[in-house]
Chains A and B, each alone.
Chain A
Amino acid sequence: MRLIRALLARLAGVFTKTQADDDLQAELQSHLEMETAEYLRRGMTPEAARRQALLASGGLTQAAEAVRDQRGLPWLENLATDLRYALRTLRRSPAFTGVVVLTLALGIGANTAIFSVVHGVLLKPLPNRDGDGLLYLRQSADGPGQANISFSVPEVHDLRTGVPSLAGIAEYSPWNLTLQGDNEAVRLDVGLVTGNYFDVMGLSPVLGRLTRPSDDGAGVPPVMVLTHDFWVKRFGGDRAIVGRQVKLDGQSVTVIGVLQPAPFFPDRIDALLNMVVSPHHVSAMMVQNRLHRMTEVVARLIPGATVAQARTEVAAVYARLQRDYPEAYDPASHYRIAVTPFKEALGERARLTLWLLMAAAAFVMIISAANVANLTLMRGVRREHELVVRAALGAGVARLRRLLLVENLVLTLLGAMGGVAIAVVGVRLLISLAARYSPRAGEIRLDGIVLGFTLALSVALALLLSFIASLPREGTFASWISAGVHRMSGSQRKQRLQRGLVVAQVAVSVVLLAGAGLLTRTMIRLSEVDSGLRAEEVFAMDVPLLQLSGGPSGGTDPMAWFRHIMELDVAAKEQYERMRSEIRALPGVNEAGLGSSIPLAASTLTFDVKAEGEALAPGEAVPRADVRTASPEYFRASGIPLLLGREFTSTDGAGSGLVVIVNKTFADKFFPGEDPIGKRIAWTGPLLKLSPISGDWRTIVGVTGNTRDGGLDAEPRATAFMPFTQMLSLGGALVIRADSNAPGLVAAATRIVHRIAPAAPIVKVLTVAQIKDQSVSPRRLNAELVSSFGILALIIAAVGIAGVLAFSVSARTTEIGIRMSLGADRGQVQRMILREGGVLLALGLVLGVAGAFFATGLVRGLLFGVAPRDPTTFIAVALLMLAIGIVACWIPALRASRIDPAIAMRSA
């Protein structure tokens, strides 16, 4: 209390200065008079008395100063003075201030924006309760599409009972349901979850309740929990939604609650339901078959347990499963299990890209800081005069240092303000980039922590800038003063520092440009990849008609469910054919085809496959192929070339012999050097039994070119097409080729689909060019961001070189004047300055190329079709830097050669 009272009194003292000062003067004066009177009384002469009194006082000014220090908060008042002084100085050199603030704003802005993404996506704690204890379990095997094959219910059960360090294991099965609205149907991405799911995940409802263990199993009513995003997007945040009935795949489902905002993995979802909504999920096949893997697993550590502990225990259980059930784990496919903290799993796709961008931004910051440091150093030299005068007038080194610090703080904080403004705009752009990589993009904010980071960055920069400036040491003012205030050269140390900074700028720019070059080439290479089809004037519509969750509920007979699906499929096929023929009849439509999925989209179904008369080599992994279907027109409509044999015909129907068309990868793999036409293949493997697809022999009638279904950067996968009419329609998609202006036909085609199947959702309508672009555009954004950082770095570095050389020229004016008057011609002077810059440039280039050689290896994972140390890119970058660098050197060199010796020497 006492302390606070005293502090308040002192704070008040800051503002009541004048009055208190008068008061103090009066008090001291009265003291002096009383003392003088006392000496007079003792018989001194008036002069002697006054002198004696003054002597005893110890100096009125000093006393007043001491009282003033006690009265107010001296540091605060000094700070205000320094601040006023700093603002005045900076206003007086607007060019310097402007350049510095702008440079800093760019550097700080880039870092703030990228850091906000890194923080939101990778670092921030999960919104889940105790999110650090959440684990994601992943099972994978060798082969395309096997990186995350999820788990079967028996596997989950064995893990649940065998791993003591896990407090809970929850199941989550990604699924699709069609929500029937009043006048349109919407395809939902949902998760079917066990009752313990929300408890394990540590999530709470914002409205209503969540599912719980009593919602598990068959024979309970189906219930739905909406995710926060979907609730807002679809129902406008309507609080009356809880308790409402909605139609999902023809069933009535009750909405019981709305979940807090939270990220999901592996994919974004709209809603979570209990398992009973899908009869298949509570069927014996799903619950008892060890091979039926369609369940994601999240788990929570018991308090005090470590991830390493969980890993060891999970690995032990998994090894036992592989021993006990050899049929479920083909040794040649190398089945394996991984335990990852959930937060890491959420960030895995974004991590490399984001750290790359963060590093690029940090490089820009380094370059900007180096430039500002150089400017400050030069200005410091010009200010030697001023500082010496201030020192001579009694300012201590600490006081001068503080003055510089305040000045630099003003600069960096102004830069930070500009930077935050840049970041506000930048973050909006970056969120759309991050959304491609991370389910947490919605959590990106310019929040307190990000702004704290920005502030810390600014203060650190200000400190750095204040301490590289050399100040006279205590007691050496005299030597400074005698060194003469005209000397504008700066010390050797300072010049070395400036040159070092320029070399660093060039080097860092080269590294950044090399990265930008590699990413740009990646993007170009990728867009040059032959997707395997003619993309012009083609669009595709994803129209899933089968609603898998309706029909007979659960039970023990999987065939009942299959029969139900098959019946639905017959009806669906009829609708598909009507859509196809009506769209085909539209004016401007060239061809229309049907298939299981749109071209260039990966098939979701993969089976083991065997070729007649071909035995597997011992230890060879069972070959697999993507399962797709196609109508006779599909290949022509998509522009997929037929390499051998024939297309499907209308006679390849349900009743005729089973035929199949394979792609080139398939043919090369199974029949290398042979003619595959007429050979027979069949689907096989334990998984086939879980589907209504038969394992009968099918005759190959044609071979098509490869298409890049897994993205342009993925190798084409072995694929077998079956006639649309001989197979389940699976997904169901239309491919439409137009004479011209394909997008113009979308509306008409959509109307036809809606008329024929009013309850069917159209999931997406895309031109094939758009599908293709989906794999290029994230890389393009990457390349563009890093390139803009690179160009920014290049510009700043060029300004840096030019600035330092210009400064050197102005410092050497006299010297150049003397040289010229002694006979040096303009060319010689130019060469002298160019040499000076050239050395710096060369050094920077060498260091930069060496740095890039090391650094680009780290981004290998982001490159495609170009080696991390691609010589073409490196040479191009070096040449670019060299060209810009030489131009930057030329300007001051030219100025040097125009120096008039007479003027130069006179002004010395």
Chain B
Amino acid sequence: MDVQQGTLALMILRTLEVLGPLHGYGVARRIEETSKHRLALNYGTLYPALLKLEQEGFVSTEWRQSENNRRAKYYALTAAGRKQLARETREWRQTAELIAAFLAPRPEAP
């Protein structure tokens, strides 16, 4: 299953919020696991999305050693990113509620 337009950014931001600074591989793994492997992220989807977030100033990047001693580029949430995450989360919840209300089983006619 492909990632829905617009939701990937939210997933990435949330992942970075929960796990702290993380490299691209980590982010991809986390999203795949959280989705119970229903989502598969190839590089061509993931990295442009990360770059876009960086360009918008929601994440910052830094090269450093990973836990098993490899050099990797780490992405970290910025203050603006935190705010953006809160905003997008709110909006997403509202949309979800709205859609849920629409799709709710029809009440029995009185």
Q: Which A residues have a C-beta under 8 Å from some C-beta of B?
A: 2, 5-6, 9-10, 23-24, 26-28, 30-31, 33-35, 37-38, 56-60, 62-63, 65-67, 69-71
- The interface stretch among B4-12, B38-46, B89-97 is B38-46
Q: B24, B45, B51, B52: which contacts A58 (Cβ < 8 A)?
A: B45
Q: Which A residues touch B73, using CB under 8 A?
A: 23, 26-27, 30
Q: A5, A38, A67: which contacts B51 (Cβ < 8 A)?
A: A67
Listed A/B pairs (25) with beta-carbon separation below 8 Å: A2-B57, A9-B55, A26-B73, A27-B24, A27-B47, A27-B72, A27-B73, A28-B43, A28-B47, A31-B25, A31-B43, A33-B70, A38-B29, A58-B42, A58-B44, A59-B44, A60-B43, A62-B43, A63-B43, A66-B45, A66-B48, A67-B44, A70-B48, A70-B52, A71-B51
Q: Which B residues touch A28, using CB under 8 A?
A: 43, 47
- Contact of B47 with A63 in the complex, beta carbons under 8 Å: yes
- Contact of A57 with B42 in the complex, beta carbons under 8 Å: yes
Interface centre among A9, A26, A66 (most CB of B within 10 A): A66
Q: What is the distance, in angstroms, from A71's C-beta to the closest C-beta of chain B?
A: 6
Q: What is the distance, in angstroms, from A11's C-beta to the closest C-beta of chain B?
A: 10
- Contact of B71 with A30 in the complex, beta carbons under 8 Å: yes
With contacts A66-B47, A70-B48 taken as known, whether A34 is within 8 angstroms of B56 at the C-beta atoms is no
Interface residues of B in 60-78 (CB under 8 A from A): 66, 68, 70-73
Instruction: Kindly report which residue of chain A lies nearest to residue B32, judged by CB atoms.
Output: A56
Instruction: Kindly report which residue of chain B lies nearest to residue A6, judged by CB atoms.
Output: B55
Contacts beyond the supplied A6-B52, A6-B56, A34-B66: 7 A-B pairs with Cβ under 8 Å: A2-B57, A30-B71, A31-B23, A58-B42, A59-B42, A63-B42, A69-B48
Instruction: Kindly report which residue of chain A lies nearest to residue B71, judged by CB atoms.
Output: A30
Q: Which B residues touch A38, using CB under 8 A?
A: 29
Q: Which A residues touch B70, using CB under 8 A?
A: 30, 33-34
Instruction: Kindly report which residue of chain A lies nearest to residue B28, judged by CB atoms.
Output: A31
- Contact of A56 with B42 in the complex, beta carbons under 8 Å: yes
- Contact of A67 with B66 in the complex, beta carbons under 8 Å: no
- Contact of A24 with B47 in the complex, beta carbons under 8 Å: yes
- Per the CB 8 Å criterion, the residue count for chain B at the interface is 24
Q: Which B residues touch A30, using CB under 8 A?
A: 23, 25, 70-73
Assembly CA distance A30 to B47 (angstroms): 13
Secondary structure of the B contact surface, majority rule = helix
Q: Which A residues touch B57, using CB under 8 A?
A: 2, 5
With contacts A5-B56, A37-B68, A67-B51 taken as known, whether A31 is within 8 angstroms of B24 at the C-beta atoms is yes
Q: Which B residues have a C-beta under 8 Å from some C-beta of A?
A: 23-25, 28-29, 40, 42-45, 47-48, 51-52, 54-57, 66, 68, 70-73
Instruction: Kindly report which residue of chain B lies nearest to residue A61, judged by CB atoms.
Output: B44
Assembly CA distance A69 to B42 (angstroms): 16
Q: Which B residues touch A35, using CB under 8 A?
A: 25
Instruction: Kindly report which residue of chain B lies nearest to residue A68, judged by CB atoms.
Output: B48
Assembly CA distance A59 to B43 (angstroms): 8
- Contact of B55 with A10 in the complex, beta carbons under 8 Å: yes
Instruction: Kindly report which residue of chain B lies nearest to residue A60, judged by CB atoms.
Output: B43
Q: What is the distance, in angstroms, from B12's C-beta to the closest C-beta of chain A?
A: 14
Q: Which A residues touch B68, using CB under 8 A?
A: 37
- Contact of A34 with B48 in the complex, beta carbons under 8 Å: no
- Contact of B24 with A5 in the complex, beta carbons under 8 Å: no
Q: Which A residues touch B72, using CB under 8 A?
A: 27, 30-31, 34
Q: What is the distance, in angstroms, from B75's C-beta to the closest C-beta of chain A?
A: 10
Instruction: Kindly report which residue of chain B lies nearest to residue A28, judged by CB atoms.
Output: B43
Assembly CA distance A10 to B66 (angstroms): 28
Instruction: Kindly report which residue of chain A lies nearest to residue B47, judged by CB atoms.
Output: A67
Q: Which B residues touch A6, using CB under 8 A?
A: 52, 55-56
Q: A5, A31, A58, A65: which contacts B55 (Cβ < 8 A)?
A: A5
Q: What is the distance, in angstroms, from B4's C-beta to the closest C-beta of chain A?
A: 18
- Contact of B25 with A34 in the complex, beta carbons under 8 Å: yes
Interface centre among B40, B42, B44 (most CB of A within 10 A): B44
Q: What is the distance, in angstroms, from A875's C-beta to the closest C-beta of chain B?
A: 72
- Contact of A62 with B66 in the complex, beta carbons under 8 Å: no
Instruction: Kindly report which residue of chain B lies nearest to residue A35, judged by CB atoms.
Output: B25
Q: Which B residues touch A5, using CB under 8 A?
A: 55-57
Q: Which B residues touch A37, using CB under 8 A?
A: 68
Q: Which B residues touch A67, using CB under 8 A?
A: 44, 47-48, 51
Q: What is the distance, in angstroms, from A807's C-beta to the closest C-beta of chain B?
A: 48
Report, nearest first, the 6 A-B pairs whose CB atoms are least far apart: A58-B42, A63-B43, A9-B55, A70-B48, A63-B44, A66-B44
Q: What is the distance, in angstroms, from B79's C-beta to the closest C-beta of chain A?
A: 14
Assembly CA distance A65 to B66 (angstroms): 26
Q: Which A residues touch B43, using CB under 8 A?
A: 28, 31, 57-60, 62-63
Q: Which A residues touch B42, using CB under 8 A?
A: 56-59, 63
Q: B23, B24, B40, B54: which contacts A56 (Cβ < 8 A)?
A: B40
Q: Which A residues touch B71, using CB under 8 A?
A: 26, 30
Assembly CA distance A560 to B94 (angstroms): 97
Q: What is the distance, in angstroms, from A190's C-beta to the closest C-beta of chain B?
A: 69
Q: What is the distance, in angstroms, from A8's C-beta to the closest C-beta of chain B?
A: 9
Instruction: Kindly report which residue of chain B lies nearest to residue A23, judged by CB atoms.
Output: B73
Instruction: Kindly report which residue of chain A lies nearest to residue B48, judged by CB atoms.
Output: A70
Interface centre among A5, A34, A37 (most CB of B within 10 A): A34
Q: What is the distance, in angstroms, from B31's C-beta to the closest C-beta of chain A?
A: 13
Interface centre among B24, B25, B45 (most CB of A within 10 A): B25
Q: Which A residues touch B40, using CB under 8 A?
A: 56
Assembly CA distance A23 to B71 (angstroms): 12
Assembly CA distance A517 to B29 (angstroms): 84
Assembly CA distance A603 to B28 (angstroms): 98
Assembly CA distance A63 to B72 (angstroms): 17
Assembly CA distance A302 to B29 (angstroms): 76
Instruction: Kindly report which residue of chain B lies nearest to residue A12, judged by CB atoms.
Output: B55
Q: Which A residues touch B44, using CB under 8 A?
A: 58-59, 62-63, 65-67
Q: Which B residues touch A26, using CB under 8 A?
A: 71, 73
Assembly CA distance A534 to B86 (angstroms): 99
Q: What is the distance, in angstroms, from A351's C-beta to the closest C-beta of chain B?
A: 57
Assembly CA distance A26 to B56 (angstroms): 22
Q: Which B residues touch A23, using CB under 8 A?
A: 73
Assembly CA distance A33 to B72 (angstroms): 10
Q: Which A residues touch B23, using CB under 8 A?
A: 30-31, 34
Q: Which B residues touch A71, using CB under 8 A?
A: 51
Assembly CA distance A827 to B37 (angstroms): 83
Q: Which B residues touch A27, using CB under 8 A?
A: 24, 47, 72-73
Assembly CA distance A635 to B99 (angstroms): 105
- Contact of B56 with A2 in the complex, beta carbons under 8 Å: yes
Assembly CA distance A59 to B47 (angstroms): 12
Q: What is the distance, in angstroms, from A20's C-beta to the closest C-beta of chain B?
A: 9
Q: What is the distance, in angstroms, from B34's C-beta to the closest C-beta of chain A?
A: 17
Q: Which A residues touch B56, using CB under 8 A?
A: 2, 5-6
Instruction: Kindly report which residue of chain B lies nearest to residue A69, judged by CB atoms.
Output: B48
Interface centre among B28, B51, B71, B73 (most CB of A within 10 A): B51
Instruction: Kindly report which residue of chain A lies nearest to residue B42, judged by CB atoms.
Output: A58
Assembly CA distance A509 to B99 (angstroms): 69
Q: What is the distance, in angstroms, from A30's C-beta to the closest C-beta of chain B?
A: 5
Q: What is the distance, in angstroms, from B106's C-beta to the closest C-beta of chain A?
A: 41
Q: Which B residues touch A57, using CB under 8 A?
A: 42-43
Q: What is the distance, in angstroms, from A490's C-beta to the closest C-beta of chain B?
A: 42
Q: Which A residues touch B48, using CB under 8 A?
A: 66-67, 69-70
Q: What is the distance, in angstroms, from B98's C-beta to the closest C-beta of chain A?
A: 25
Q: What is the distance, in angstroms, from B11's C-beta to the closest C-beta of chain A?
A: 17
Q: Which B residues touch A65, using CB under 8 A?
A: 44
Assembly CA distance A588 to B25 (angstroms): 109
Assembly CA distance A67 to B52 (angstroms): 9
Instruction: Kindly report which residue of chain B lies nearest to residue A71, judged by CB atoms.
Output: B51
Q: Which A residues touch B25, using CB under 8 A?
A: 30-31, 34-35
Assembly CA distance A56 to B24 (angstroms): 14
Q: Which B residues touch A2, using CB under 8 A?
A: 56-57
Q: What is the distance, in angstroms, from B18's C-beta to the closest C-beta of chain A?
A: 19
Q: Which B residues touch A63, using CB under 8 A?
A: 42-44, 47
Q: What is the distance, in angstroms, from B101's C-beta to the closest C-beta of chain A?
A: 31
Assembly CA distance A5 to B72 (angstroms): 26
Instruction: Kindly report which residue of chain A lies nearest to residue B51, judged by CB atoms.
Output: A70
